Structure formats: C-alpha cells, structure tokens
C-alpha cells in the first residue's frame, strides 16, 4: 500500500477465505482528460450551485475562534500530549483523552494495519480506484497559494476553502452529469449518527458522511433489516442514510490532526460493525476477512490521508484495522486532485459493487413476517401471528 506499511514485513497466503467471493471489476481508465484551466473561478458561482445542506452545514459550525488555542500561541516547552488537547468542541472531547486508544483496543479496534494486512486483490483494487483519472473540475481556485494562505487559520476557514476539493458532493455530481451510480447516495454534513448503535463512546459525527438512501433497497430488504423496536440499528446513521462507507474530517494544528484520525477510526469502526453484524446474520462473515468495506479522509490546510478500513474475522472474534491508502500533499500540483478523484471514484464505482454485495446478503436473511406466522402462541400452540409479530418500522 502506498505510504502504508512495508510489504516486505507482511506475509500473505496465496489464497484467503474470501478469495472465491464476488469481486467488483476494476473499471478501465478513460483515454483522455482535460486541463483544469478555465475562466470559471468565482467561489460564489460554485456556492450558488450547491445543495442547500452545504450552506446549512457551514452556517451551523461554531465561531471560527471559539474554543481554540492556536499552536503558535503555546509555550515551546509544552509537551506534545493528547492529554493537553486544547480542542474544546464537544464532538471531539472524547477522542482527546489518553485512555481513548485503550478503550478502542478493548473493543478490538486498532489504528494500524493488521499483521496480515489487506488481501492482494483489495490493495490492487484500491490503487486502481485511487489512481483512475477523472476530468478535473473547471475551477482555478485550488492552487498552492490557497493552501499557503490557510496557515494558522481555523477549521471553519479551512473547510470553507478546501472541502469541495477534498470531499466533493456526490449528490451535486449527480446533478452535473446524471451518472446513475451517484443517484440514491445520501450525504450529511457535521451531523451525529443518532440512529446507530455505537459500540463505545458518543455517536460518530464526521464532517462529511456518505452512505446509501433507504430507497436503494427494496421493500422486502428494508423489512428484513428493520427488526429492532428500540429504533436503533447497526446500519442506520440517520433515518435516510444507511451503511455509511466514506467519511471525512478536517482538523488543523499538530495535535488536532491526530484527534481527527481518532474520530475517523471511531466512525468507521461503527460502520464496519454494522457490516460484520449483517454478514454474521447470514453466516457469511468469513467473506469480510481482510477486505476493505469503508474509507475515511482526514485533512488540514496542507495535506490529507486516505484510509481503508477492514475487519479480521477469527471465529466469533472480530478485530478492526485500517491501512493508509495514500498520503496526499495538497500543495503539490501533481497530487492536489487525488482526494477529489478518489471520493468520486469510490462513490461511482466502489459503492455500486458494495451495494450489490449488501443486497445479496440481505436477501438471504429470514423474512420477519414469515417468522411471525409460525411463532407459537402463549400456550405453545400456533397462536395468532398478528399478536406475536413484532412492531417493524419501514423507513422510506
């Protein structure tokens, strides 16, 4: 993996339990691309074309100077310790404690590659998705001077200036080119995953979350998934965003970048937990072993890191890991569009194959309506199925 662990330190078997399962085809690269030079360069023109929720997200952020102590103001003798985290935003407070990684490890989630690492196929597939060229947008605003001007600025300013170049909107991309793969993808900006069953800590709250709208699943598939009367589900981040597969976090400052990577690890561990739970219900958990089922991006004003998240399955034990797919220098003219291309390639190509796999697994789950029909009554006989059936909410 580029910029990840040394391949020579890891031994991989020629085959793995997941070797025979359905694999998505690696899309061919287009034969041409165009220059990013164009006369369209006004930020206001871009903002007027964005969905309303982007403006709402930006308006909902805290005051740029509220709750921050900038790195250039701290004494030079101050130790570089997460216990001295000066980020007071509530959504990141849990990740600032020195015991956070211990708590995560207790849940078998680790901020490193696993000893075996990803399968060879997944490494190749990620590289192909990552490097597949796309036509760069007709915007002249993303150049080295933009990144230089953001040095020492708040996260609010950095997100305002860079987010569209690092984590573009799949919904907006569908409005632009009508590619069918983008239709039905759901996004949220800075919203907590209030419907999910988090394994530990607070609900995840990435700066940007990508997932599937419930309409991507049939009525029968939704009925098989929604069996929890409490209203919390492993796979539901928001009522209209299921199975999140990509998140992004913007953090600035030396310690804050580490906190952002912790938050990304927590978010995608919760997302991976939903996938493992689903596959275990269908007795197919072995298919997930060392295969990527989610991505995250953490960035600041100068650079970004793209992670791939996966699980290792050992009987009933599940451990979660992440690999560095790519470290990106946003000030380098040859690399600056890497995250932008990667996000859209994941949304267009990876999400389609991922959705197909989810649908196949869900189809194998028992139908709760059929189970209710044969459920015995109070005396052990065949009671009224309508009395015994659980309350199932279908999310539309």
- The mean of the pLDDT values for the chain is 75
The structure tokens listed for 78 are 């101050």
pLDDT digits (tens, 9 = 90+) for 306-336: 999 999 999 999 999 999 999 999 989 888 8
Over residues 199-226, the mean pLDDT reads 90
Expressed in angstroms, the distance from the first to the final Cα of the chain is: 39
Over 90: is that where the pLDDT of 89 sits?
no
| Residue 56: both structure tokens together | 């709402």
Answer whether residue 20 shows pLDDT above 70: no
Place of tokens 């580029």: 2
Cα 303 from Cα 384, distance rounded (Å): 62
Model pLDDT for residues 241-261, shown as the tens digit of each residue = 999 999 999 988 767 888 899
If you average pLDDT over residues 257-272, what whole number do you get? 92
Higher pLDDT, 197 or 90: 197
Q: How confident is the model at residue 289 (pLDDT cuts 50, 70, 90)?
A: very high
113, 78, 109, 81: which is closest to 97 by C-alpha? 81
- The CA angle 98-104-109, to the nearest 5 degrees, is 135
Mean pLDDT for 353-364 is 95
- Nearest-angstrom CA–CA distance, 309 and 45: 36
Tokens of 328: 């990106």
Tell me, what's the pLDDT at 140?
53
Q: How far apart (Å, rounded) are the C-alpha atoms in residues 274 and 164? A: 28
Q: CA nearest 187: which of 207, 164, 159, 158?
A: 207
Write the pLDDT tens digit of every residue in 42-72. Answer: 444 444 555 554 544 455 544 443 443 333 4
Label residue 128 by pLDDT band (50, 70, 90).
Answer: confident
- Whole-number pLDDT of residue 248: 96
**197: Cβ contacts below 8 Å, ≥ 6 apart:** 232, 233, 234, 273
Q: What are the structure tokens assigned to 352, written together?
A: 């389609």
What percentage of the chain exceeds 90 in pLDDT?
35
- Answer yes or no: is pLDDT of 286 > 90: yes
* pLDDT at residue 200 is higher than 50: yes
pLDDT for the residue numbered 376: 54
pLDDT in tens, 157-171: 888 889 999 999 998
372 neighbors 389 (Cβ within 8 angstroms): yes
CB 188 within 8 A of CB 238: yes
86: confidence class by pLDDT, cuts 50, 70, 90: very low
Structure confidence by residue, pLDDT tens digits, 133-146: 787 776 556 776 78
Q: How far, CA to CA in Å, does 29 sit from each of 135, 176, 306?
A: 11, 20, 21
pLDDT at 346: 95
Question: Tell me, what's the pLDDT at 133?
Answer: 78
Of 30-39, 82-91, 104-113, 130-139, the range with the lowest mean pLDDT is 30-39
Instruction: Tell me the Cα Rg of the chain.
Output: 22
pLDDT tops 80 at residue 360: yes
- CB-based contacts of 281: which residues, under 8 Å, 6+ apart? 365
Cα 205 to Cα 135, 138, 188, 238, 242: the distances in Å are: 31, 31, 10, 11, 14
Q: Cβ distance 205 to 91 under 8 Å? A: yes
Minimum mean pLDDT range among 8-12, 251-255, 290-294: 8-12
Beta strands of the chain (E only): which ranges? 185-189, 208-212, 236-238, 241-250, 292-299, 303-314, 317-329
Cβ–Cβ under 8 Å, residues 246 and 219: no
Q: Is residue 395 very low, low, confident or very high in pLDDT (cuts 50, 70, 90)?
A: very low
- State residue 25's pLDDT score: 57
Tokens read off for 375: 């459920």
pLDDT higher than 90, residue 264: yes
Place of tokens 């419907």: 195
Do residues 51 and 131 make contact, with C-beta atoms less than 8 angstroms apart? no
Please give the pLDDT value at position 152: 80
Q: Is 390 helix (H, G, I), strand (E, B) or coil?
A: coil
Percent of the chain residues past pLDDT 70, beyond the cut: 66
Q: Give the list of residues 6+ apart from residue 33 with CB closer than 8 angstroms, or none.
A: 133, 134, 135, 136
Binned at pLDDT 50, 70 and 90, residue 106 comes out as confident
The answer to whether residues 305 and 324 touch, using CB atoms and an 8 Å cutoff, is yes
**4 pLDDT exceeds 80?**
no
Average pLDDT for 287-302 = 94
């Amino acid at each position: 993996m580029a910029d990840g662990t040394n391949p020579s330190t890891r031994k991989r078997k020629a085959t793995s339990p997941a070797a025979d399962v359905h694999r998505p085809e690696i899309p061919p690269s287009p034969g041409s691309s165009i220059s990013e030079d164009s006369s369209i360069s006004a930020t206001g023109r871009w903002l007027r074309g964005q969905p309303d929720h982007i403006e709402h997200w930006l308006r909902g952020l805290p005051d740029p100077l509220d709750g921050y102590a900038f790195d250039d103001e701290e004494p030079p003798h101050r130790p570089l310790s997460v216990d001295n985290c000066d980020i007071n935003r509530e959504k990141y407070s849990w990740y600032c404690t020195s015991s956070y990684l211990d708590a995560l490890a207790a849940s078998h989630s680790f901020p490193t590659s696993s000893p075996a690492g990803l399968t060879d196929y997944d490494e190749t597939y990620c590289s192909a998705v990552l490097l597949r060229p796309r036509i760069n947008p007709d915007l002249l605003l993303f150049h080295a001077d933009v990144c230089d001007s953001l040095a020492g600025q708040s996260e609010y300013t950095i997100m305002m200036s860079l987010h569209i170049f690092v984590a573009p909107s799949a919904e907006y991309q569908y409005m632009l080119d009508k590619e069918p793969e983008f239709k039905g993808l759901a996004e949220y900006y800075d919203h907590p995953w209030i419907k999910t069953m988090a394994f530990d800590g607070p609900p995840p709250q990435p700066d940007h979350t990508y997932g599937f709208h419930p309409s991507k699943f049939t009525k029968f598939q939704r009925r098989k998934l929604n069996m929890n009367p409490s209203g919390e589900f492993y796979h539901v981040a928001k009522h209209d965003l299921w199975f999140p597969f990509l998140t992004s976090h913007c953090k600035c400052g030396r310690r804050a970048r580490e906190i952002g990577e912790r938050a990304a690890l927590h978010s995608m561990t919760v997302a991976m937990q939903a996938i493992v739970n689903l596959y275990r219900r269908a007795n197919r958990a072995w298919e997930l072993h060392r295969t990527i089922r989610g991505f995250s991006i953490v960035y600041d004003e100068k650079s970004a890191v793209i992670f791939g998240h996966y699980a290792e399955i050992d009987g009933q034990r599940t451990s979660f890991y992440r690999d560095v797919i790519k470290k990106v220098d946003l000030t380098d003219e040859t690399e600056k569009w890497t995250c932008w291309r990667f996000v859209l390639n994941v949304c267009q190509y990876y999400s389609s194959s991922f959705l197909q796999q989810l649908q196949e697994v869900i189809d194998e789950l028992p139908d709760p309506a059929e189970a209710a029909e044969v459920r015995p009554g109070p005396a052990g006989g065949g009671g009224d199925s309508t009395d015994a059936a659980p309350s199932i909410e279908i999310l539309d």
